């Protein structure tokens, strides 16, 4: 009887030891995953802070066709300047296809164009005082760049926020109106020299981002195998 009790005590001790080791492993794995997430977030923050817009040019006519790494509210986006209609660009002008969903976000995006992209970067890149250098703009005085964000189902109009860039002194008469505007869904900016659409996209993940995601993924995969 005593031998049986002693064996039970030993088995209980071994079981408790195994449970403790398993808990320690899980805790250690959790700390590793948390550390990987912290590294990923730090990398993303550094990437966001350090990134500056990269201008994209049409090599044939030297027009600005877009810009990458535009900071809108702390997040980076790409933007392309396209002469077309809302109907053609956003699958029938479907509001679900708009990258920015409300007036606040569209306003931030429009200000970002004026503050980060449409600037006089150098004597040979005077985007602020030469609005015609933007693709789709032929007017030498003013550019009106449209960012859509709202459309009621079935409505013939789309609500847009506009960024106005003029040829005056840098920073003067460049503005985003206090109120949004409404344009026809089928209205094509081609042939309207002062107007062009801003087509915003989310950039592809960078190698730094992919590395961070891979580290987290490896941690989660390891955890699944051990549980």
- pLDDT score of 210 more than 80: no
Helices 2-50 and 207-226: angle between axes, nearest 10 degrees: 170
pLDDT reported for residue 123: 80
CA distance 36 to 216: 6
Percent of the chain with pLDDT over 70: 66
Give CA separation, 166 vs 92, 125, 144, in Å: 31, 15, 9
**Least confident residue range of 11-25, 72-86, 147-161, 178-192:** 11-25
If you write DSSP's letter for every residue of the chain in order, what string do you get? -HHHHHHHHHHHHHHHHHHHHHHHHHHHHHHHHHHHHHHHHHHHHHHHHH---EEEE-TTT--EEEEEEEEETTEEEEEEEE-SBHHHHTTTT-GGG-S--SHHHHHHHHHHIIIIISSEEETTEETTT-GGGBTT---SSEEEEEEEEE--TT-SEEEEEEEEEESSSTTTT-B--SS-EEEETT-B-TT-TTEEEEEEEPPPPPHHHHHHHHHHHHHHHHHHHH-
pLDDT at 222 over 90: no
Average pLDDT over residues 5-13: 53
pTM for the whole structure: 0.71
Residue 109: closest CA among 51, 70, 68: 70
CA 72, CA 44: separation in Å to the nearest integer? 15
pLDDT for 85 equals 98
């Amino acid at each position: 009887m005593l031998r049986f009790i002693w064996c039970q005590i030993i088995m209980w001790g071994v079981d408790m030891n195994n449970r403790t080791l398993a808990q320690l492993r899980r805790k250690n794995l959790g700390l590793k995953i948390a550390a990987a997430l912290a590294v990923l977030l730090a990398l993303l923050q550094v990437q966001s802070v350090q990134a500056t817009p990269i201008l994209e040019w049409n090599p044939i006519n030297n027009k600005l066709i877009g810009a990458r790494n535009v900071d809108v509210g702390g997040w980076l986006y790409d933007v392309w300047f396209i002469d077309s209609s809302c109907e053609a660009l956003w699958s029938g002008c479907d509001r679900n296809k708009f990258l920015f969903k409300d007036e606040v976000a569209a306003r931030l995006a429009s200000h970002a164009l004026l503050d980060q992209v449409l600037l006089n970067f150098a004597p040979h890149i005077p985007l602020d005082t030469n609005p015609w250098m933007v693709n789709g703009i032929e007017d030498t005085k003013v550019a009106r760049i449209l960012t859509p964000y709202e459309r009621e189902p079935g409505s013939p109009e789309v609500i847009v926020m506009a960024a106005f860039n003029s040829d005056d002194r840098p920073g003067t008469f460049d503005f985003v109106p206090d109120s949004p505007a409404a344009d026809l869904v089928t209205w094509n900016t081609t042939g309207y020299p002062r107007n062009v659409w801003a087509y915003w996209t989310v950039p592809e993940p960078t190698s730094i981002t992919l590395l961070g995601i891979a580290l987290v993924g490896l941690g989660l995969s390891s955890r699944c195998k051990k549980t």
